[in-house]
């Protein structure tokens, strides 16, 4: 059974610092991996989708890497801002079903 | 496009009552899914569908029924509500397996 882990569970950084969020998964036979952002009391917003054949995806200040062989993905957020405060979740698509990590709660202090 | 819509936003049920959570999408997506989100448990898949007329169970299907008669709608039925079903329920859709998933705003359900 696929298991997805996100460490750390919570992270606090000063504004301007780069954020590094980790996601690991136990079964490397994945179809793709997606990173989401969730604000308190809201639904999930898609940030980046990486297909299994890709090594990374970029969108603005966000960059996500994927290493299937080691079962890891990393989300980098450059020059963090207070508006980046949220919970970030990764989800792995195995056999058509998304398996989610528990998320990393990020606070960016001004 | 309205995206993925869910109704109601909030609901309180008594134990044993039944109800249907509504989910609709206007993006012509084939794949639709229902999740529940509980503190410390993350999101767990309840049921999913890869097209009209096709549904399958996820990780936590007991106590829930689904059907998919149209591409647009994917209702989730609680047959006999239990306090353990108190949760936030999210509906999601995507065009296909290679595409990103979009989520609705959620339904907060309390069962007393």
Is the pLDDT at B94 greater than 80? The verdict is yes
DSSP B99: S
CB proximity list for B98: less than 8 A, separation 6 or greater: A31, A32, A51
The DSSP-derived string for B15-82 is: TT--EEEEEEESS--SEEEEEEEETTTEEEEEEEEEETTEEEE-S--TTEEE--SSSSB--EEESS--
pLDDT in tens, B3-18: 999 999 999 999 999 9
Inter-chain residue contact B33 with A98, CB threshold 8 Å: yes
Indicate the residue of A31, A97, A101 with minimum beta-carbon distance to B48: A97
Distance separating alpha carbons of residues A23 and A100, to the nearest angstrom: 10
- State the best of A23, A29, A92, A97 to mutate against chain B, taking most chain B CBs within 10 Å: A97
pLDDT per residue over B38-74, tens digit each? Answer: 987 889 999 999 999 999 999 999 999 999 999 999 9
Residue reference for tokens 């012509």: B28
pLDDT band per the 50, 70, 90 thresholds, residue A1: confident
Average predicted confidence (pLDDT) for chain A: 95
- Confidence at residue A59, expressed as pLDDT on a 0 to 100 scale: 96
> Which of B43, B97, B102 has the CB atom closest to A46's CB atom?
B102
Burial track B53-82 (b if 16+ CB lie within 10 A, e otherwise): eebeebebbeebebebeebbebbbebeebe
B39 touches chain A (CB under 8 A): no
8-state DSSP, A30:
-
Q: CB–CB of A51 and B103 under 8 A?
A: no
Say yes or no for a CB contact (<8 Å) between A89 and B43.
Answer: yes
In order, the DSSP letters of A33-51 are EEEEEE-TTS-EEEEEEEE
Are the Cβ atoms of B48 and A96 closer than 8 angstroms? yes
Q: How far is B92 from chain A (nearest CA, A)?
A: 9
* C-alpha dist (Å) from residue A94 to A16, B36, B43, B97: 35, 19, 15, 10
Are B98 and A96 inside 8 Å of each other by CB? no
């Amino acid at each position: 059974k696929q298991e997805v882990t996100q460490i750390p569970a919570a992270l606090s950084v000063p504004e301007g610092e780069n954020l590094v969020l980790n996601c690991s998964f136990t079964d490397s036979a994945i179809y793709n991996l997606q990173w989401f952002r969730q604000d308190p009391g809201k639904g999930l917003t898609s940030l980046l989708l990486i297909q299994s054949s890709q090594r990374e995806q970029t969108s603005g200040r966000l960059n996500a890497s994927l290493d299937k062989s080691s079962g890891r993905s990393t989300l980098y957020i450059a020059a963090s801002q207070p508006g980046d405060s949220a919970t970030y979740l990764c989800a792995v698509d195995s056999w058509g079903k998304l398996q989610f990590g528990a998320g990393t709660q990020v606070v960016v202090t001004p | 496009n309205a995206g993925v819509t869910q109704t109601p936003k909030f609901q309180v049920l008594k134990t044993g009552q039944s109800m249907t959570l509504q989910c609709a999408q206007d993006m012509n997506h084939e794949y639709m899914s229902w999740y529940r989100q509980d503190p410390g448990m993350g999101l767990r898949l309840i049921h999913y569908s890869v097209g009209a007329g096709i549904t399958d169970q996820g990780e936590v299907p007991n106590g829930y029924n689904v059907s998919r008669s149209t591409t647009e709608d994917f209702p989730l039925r609680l047959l006999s509500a239990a306090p353990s079903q108190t949760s936030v329920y999210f509906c999601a859709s995507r065009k296909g397996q290679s595409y990103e998933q979009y989520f609705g705003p959620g339904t907060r359900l309390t069962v007393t």
